[in-house]
Structure 1
């Protein structure tokens, strides 16, 4: 394998900032510096995005990945399924959601065929995907279905060298406690552990969050730490994972950001998201944990408020490309 892996670069939802992000990173040379990119989407959307950001990037269209020749510029696997003239920027569009669904399925198939080693996708819009016919609640569930994933999977949020994994995600705070179990927490720990290992860390160290203030004060302020979280950590340690805690959430990320852990396992969505976004809102990325190939995206969404203005920052997407390339190289080296 060439030192630079072949990565699919998906343009994302055409109503948002995705195409502009890809255009900027292509024009700056960043994509070609870190991988051998194959853009996936409609070439007209890509060229329109180049005009939006007032940039140029050598590129050409291909109909099969075997036609890719990076000496000619960046190959675009042209889907010919979207006309920029028919798309209103900043407004949910079911046809754009359909195009995203096709991008995902194509990228997954190319991974399975060995044509690409992983992929990075610009922001999607889940509502558009569902309006466009996706029967899954998220792209992660769609990809898991395509790949036949049977183990734990889900979003892994990353900032710098620190990962976070959620035990529960998009549920009301009132439902968090009743949704916790030893098995569910253990799955989150296992997912976190394996995802860190997939980046090349031989012995991951994980910090696990408590649910209640002061770790429940030995049962005086809640028993989840004693009855559920602690036993899950103990089982993880019995399985050979270096899981530590539970730690009160108000000190856990102080320890994490100073380098005590490779990853943090949180009990609910905002427990980790607030810390990461406060620390580096424009830098965060999301790894598709539990999938059999490196799949990464920026942690922000379609940003309709600035879409079409050419002002979007690319640092998070750049971090996503670097992470996907790192994971692809590690996967190849250990295959």
Structure 2
């Protein structure tokens, strides 16, 4: 793909019972959305119409019969629309996790991944989904990232990134019980996770990322009196990363490292477990954060928040996080190495 060609970004409507359809309607009503990419919406026509009704928008789409028709479109100001029949209105009860909705989400995402593997699209941004509904609908993994990795044949390290206002986070362990976290704290995992976020930031336009690694124990282990992971595992991993040419710093105490991030001193923080980073980022900007699926051969992004079943259909959902997710997908989908 030449630099002047806009990336092709596929959008999906997310869980049919959540806020996804109305968020997509608001996103596509923004002129700056189609200015960033050649956009193709993929999903059920009735669900798109329902999202527009809730959002109060009237966006005209350009129907296409296949992904093959998208990249060469002469006019990309109007979003393309690839219709799929995945779920019927009678199978969806707004505000509830249901198998039919989860199965529909999987079908749409899988078709988009097929298109990415075929070189027909460059990135995917999906509206919020619900893991419980997806598991009811056939998801065999703990989360969507592991489904993506298996579907795309990924054998290397992969993990979720969360980003807010230019600050990115990665984690050594993710959707696992807290009691199991210590077994994931291995030097090689830290090196792989940090390398992945470092390279991904470069792909997102940050030539020399400032990356720090968090400790695991209270007060960073207090010199080994409150845990030795910092001394025996994390610090050696940082030293190895430095030897590989990445000027990574740390470990820093988990209860203060995000102050550096908040104050603009860092581009990324590598954390040891899910909530170590998620709590901090969501406190700093719950309605703005983005999740990037790291380590995959295709760029995939989504808002960091969920389906918000409690406000689905009320027209109150904030589109900012979805807009941020789309912007990242467009930037990273321009042909930069991931």
With structure 1 as the length reference, what TM-score do the two structures score? Answer: 0.94
Residue 111 of structure 2 corresponds to 106
Q: Identify the match of residue 52 of structure 2 among 50, 53, 59.
A: 50
Give how far 1:71 is off.
5.8
Kindly report which structure 2 residues correspond to 1:224-263, keeping only aligned pairs within 5 A, or say none.
224-263=229-268
Q: Does residue 297 of the first structure (1) align with residue 299 of the second (2)? A: no
CA deviation string 1:97-125 (max 9, x = no partner)? 11111111111111111111111000111
User: Do the aligned partners of 1:48 and 1:84 also contact (CA within 8 Å) in 2?
Assistant: no
User: Do the aligned partners of 1:285 and 1:298 also contact (CA within 8 Å) in 2?
Assistant: yes
Equivalents in 2 of 1:72, 1:313: separation in Å? 23
Q: Does residue 161 of the first structure (1) align with residue 166 of the second (2)? A: yes
Equivalents in 2 of 1:30, 1:175: separation in Å? 44
Equivalents in 1 of 2:283, 2:6: separation in Å? 33
Q: Identify the match of residue 156 of structure 2 among 133, 142, 151.
A: 151
Residue 202 of structure 1 corresponds to 207
Equivalents in 2 of 1:263, 1:330: separation in Å? 22
Residue 270 of structure 1 corresponds to 275
Describe the SS at the equivalent of 1:249.
Answer: coil
Equivalents in 2 of 1:72, 1:315: separation in Å? 21
Shift in CA distance, 96/221, structure 1 to aligned 2, threshold 3 Å: same
Equivalents in 2 of 1:79, 1:258: separation in Å? 45
Equivalents in 2 of 1:71, 1:156: separation in Å? 29
> Structure 1 stretch 304-313 or stretch 139-148: which is displaced more?
139-148
CA deviation string 1:199-222 (max 9, x = no partner)? 122222210001122221211221
User: Do the aligned partners of 1:59 and 1:72 also contact (CA within 8 Å) in 2?
Assistant: no
Task: Give the gaps of 5 or more residues in structure 1.
Answer: none
Equivalents in 2 of 1:183, 1:249: separation in Å? 20
Kindly report which structure 2 residues correspond to 1:113-132, keeping only aligned pairs within 5 A, or say none.
113-132=118-137
Equivalents in 1 of 2:139, 2:331: separation in Å? 30
User: Do the aligned partners of 2:35 and 2:77 also contact (CA within 8 Å) in 1?
Assistant: no
User: Do the aligned partners of 1:58 and 1:72 also contact (CA within 8 Å) in 2?
Assistant: no
User: Do the aligned partners of 1:12 and 1:122 also contact (CA within 8 Å) in 2?
Assistant: yes
User: Do the aligned partners of 1:44 and 1:82 also contact (CA within 8 Å) in 2?
Assistant: no
Q: Identify the match of residue 79 of structure 2 among 74, 82, 92.
A: 74
CA deviation string 1:131-171 (max 9, x = no partner)? 11122222111111122111111210000111000111223
> Structure 1 stretch 151-160 or stretch 199-208: which is displaced more?
199-208
Equivalents in 2 of 1:220, 1:71: separation in Å? 60
> Structure 1 stretch 174-183 or stretch 106-115: which is displaced more?
174-183
Equivalents in 1 of 2:158, 2:114: separation in Å? 19
Residue 285 of structure 1 corresponds to 290
Task: Give the gaps of 5 or more residues in structure 2.
Answer: none
Residue 21 of structure 1 corresponds to 23
Aligned pair count?
Answer: 333
CA deviation string 1:56-78 (max 9, x = no partner)? 10114322123344468322110
With structure 2 as the length reference, what TM-score do the two structures score? Answer: 0.93
Kindly report which structure 2 residues correspond to 1:82-101, keeping only aligned pairs within 5 A, or say none.
82-101=87-106
